[in-house]
């Protein structure tokens, strides 16, 4: 590790700690209402789910419409463990149950992934949707999970501290994964899985891994949710919830982990701010979505991350466009959308976009577009 890396990492860690301390003082000083504290915790939980979804949908490039199913598995596993253990307020048992939740979610991802990940595009998307619904039905019909009735009495053990730090750990884990050779392999699959295979990437292995890794954190998020809400209903983790997380990922920027965090917070808080106009909340939300897709399809941060370099640029008042910040392959040359590459329909859309914006593989001597600084 070079010295500059150590410095850089320390700054990031210090920043995470600083943010935490700010919230900690705010929350423990009673200035802030209980509701807001709870909201913050929920935001952390959902942000964890969104970041994990970004791994399978944004970075691997596979449309996953059943993410809530993984959360559900994790949630029920964790809840059942702490219910069996009987004691509440025990952080150790909570963490253990979260781990168990993550592991069962990973297991279910492997079970569904091994047969299903060779499907492409639309077909894979619909099977993930089907998976989510099957999980919902299973949870509703098994006696151990309440048999159609909500599972109640779960210890309310998720504090903002636990929520925050789990989120940070998730972010770090996925971020470091992506900036390693394995992460490059995963992204290359999104870009062109046939070429990736031809470069020595075992597409099956990495798809399965990314899928399972993403499910692991989703399971943990589910466990966190269970101990946040105290009550679990199978219908909470349905297709609509999966879509909610998908929207968070797209809104924040596909491939941008910090973007997912920001958008998770924003989109979870938004209904609260719109509470005054309660009746029109969802209407406004849907209109915002449509406008977002039309005018900023790459989301808040595009492929970029909130990084030291980016913040430094803001202070130096350089045009953000001129020097795109990195993500992996980050930065924004032309309005290049991140397009999941599996399935021929995506490739057609990709080539249509490239043709429309004038960059095409068939044109020789294309004038060079902007420079991009890679960040390792």
Q: Which residues between 202 and 231 bind other proteins (CB under 8 A)? A: 202-204, 209
Interaction of residue 131 with other proteins, rule CB under 8 A = yes
DSSP state for residue 298 in the 8-state scheme: T
Indicate the residue among 209 and 265 with the shorter CB distance to other proteins.
Answer: 209
Instruction: Work out whether 272 is an interface residue with other proteins (CB under 8 A).
Output: no
From the list 19-27, 45-53, 140-148, 153-161, the region that binds other proteins by CB under 8 A is 140-148
Residue 206: C-alpha distances to residues 26, 117, 120, 184, 230 (Å): 42, 11, 15, 10, 36
Q: Considering only CA atoms, which of 236, 217, 240 is closest in space to residue 103?
A: 217
Distance in Å, CB of 347 to other proteins, minimum: 8
Q: Is 57 in a helix, a strand, or coil?
A: helix
- For position 273 contacting other proteins by CB under 8 A, the verdict is no
Q: By CB under 8 A, what part of segment 145-164 binds other proteins?
A: 148
List the one residue from 152, 235, 356, 358 that touches other proteins (CB under 8 A): 356
Nearer to other proteins, 239 or 266 (CB): 239
Nearer to other proteins, 8 or 88 (CB): 8
Q: Which of residues 79-108 bind other proteins (CB under 8 A)?
A: none
| CA max distance for the chain | 69
Per the listing, tokens 């709870």 go with 38
Q: Is 241 exposed, middle or buried (0-12, 13-18, 19+ CB in 10 A)?
A: buried
Going by C-alpha positions, the residue among 30, 13, 12, 59 that lies closest to residue 308 is 12
- With contact defined as beta carbons under 8 Å apart, do 56 and 112 qualify? no
Contacts 24+ apart (CB under 8 A), 110-113: 110/208, 110/212, 113/207, 113/208, 113/211, 113/212
164 Cβ contact list (under 8 Å, min separation 6): 20, 23, 44
Q: Is position 337 an interface residue for other proteins (rule: CB under 8 A)? A: yes
Among 17, 137, 311, 312, binds other proteins (CB under 8 A): 137
Among 105, 303, 304, 325, binds other proteins (CB under 8 A): 303
In the bound complex, what is the minimum distance in angstroms from residue 31's beta carbon to other proteins?
A: 35
Between 93 and 210, whose beta carbon lies closer to other proteins?
210
Q: How many residues bind other proteins (CB under 8 A)?
A: 107
Task: Fill in the per-residue mask, 228 to 267: x = in contact with other proteins (CB under 8 A), - = not in contact.
Answer: -----------x---x--xx--x---x-------------
Minimal distance, residue 67 CB to other proteins, in Å: 13
Q: State how far the Cα of 105 lies from the Cα of 102, in Å rounded to an integer.
A: 5
| Residue choice 4, 29, 35, 344 for contact with other proteins (CB under 8 A) | 344
110 binds other proteins (CB under 8 A): no
Give least dist CB 26 to other proteins, A.
32
């Amino acid at each position: 590790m070079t010295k500059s890396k150590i410095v850089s990492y320390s700054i990031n860690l210090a920043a995470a700690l600083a943010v935490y301390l700010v919230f900690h003082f705010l929350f423990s000083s009673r200035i802030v209402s209980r509701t807001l504290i709870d909201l913050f915790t929920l935001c952390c939980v959902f942000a964890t789910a969104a970041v994990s979804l970004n791994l399978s949908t944004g970075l691997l490039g596979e449309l996953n419409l059943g993410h809530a199913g993984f959360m559900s598995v994790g949630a029920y596993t964790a809840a059942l463990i702490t219910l069996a253990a009987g004691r509440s307020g025990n952080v150790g048992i909570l963490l253990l149950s979260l781990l168990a939740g993550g592991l069962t979610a990973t297991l279910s991802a492997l079970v569904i992934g091994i047969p299903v990940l060779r499907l492409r595009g639309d077909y894979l998307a619909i099977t993930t949707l089907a998976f989510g619904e099957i999980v919902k039905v299973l949870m509703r019909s098994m006696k151990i999970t309440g048999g159609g009735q909500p599972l109640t009495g779960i210890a309310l053990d998720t504090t903002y501290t636990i929520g925050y730090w789990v989120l940070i750990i998730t972010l770090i884990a996925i971020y470091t994964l992506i900036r390693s050779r394995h992460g490059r392999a995963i992204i290359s699959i999104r870009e062109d899985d046939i070429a990736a295979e031809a470069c020595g990437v075992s597409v099956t292995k990495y798809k399965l891994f990314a899928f399972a890794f993403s499910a692991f954190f989703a399971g943990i998020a589910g466990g966190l949710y269970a101990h946040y809400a105290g009550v679990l209903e199978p219908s909470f983790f349905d297709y609509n919830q999966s879509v909610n997380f998908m929207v968070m990922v797209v809104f924040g920027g596909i491939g941008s982990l910090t973007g997912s965090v920001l958008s998770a917070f924003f989109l979870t808080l938004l209904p609260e701010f719109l509470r005054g106009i309660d009746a029109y909340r969802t209407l406004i939300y849907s209109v915002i979505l449509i406008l977002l897709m039309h005018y900023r399809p790459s989301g808040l941060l595009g492929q970029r991350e909130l990084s030291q370099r980016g913040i430094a640029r803001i202070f130096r008042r350089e045009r953000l466009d001129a020097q795109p910040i990195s993500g992996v392959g980050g930065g924004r040359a032309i309005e290049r959308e991140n397009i999941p590459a599996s399935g021929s329909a995506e490739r057609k859309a990709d080539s249509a976009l490239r043709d429309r914006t004038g960059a095409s593989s068939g044109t020789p001597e294309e004038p060079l577009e902007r420079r991009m600084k890679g960040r390792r």
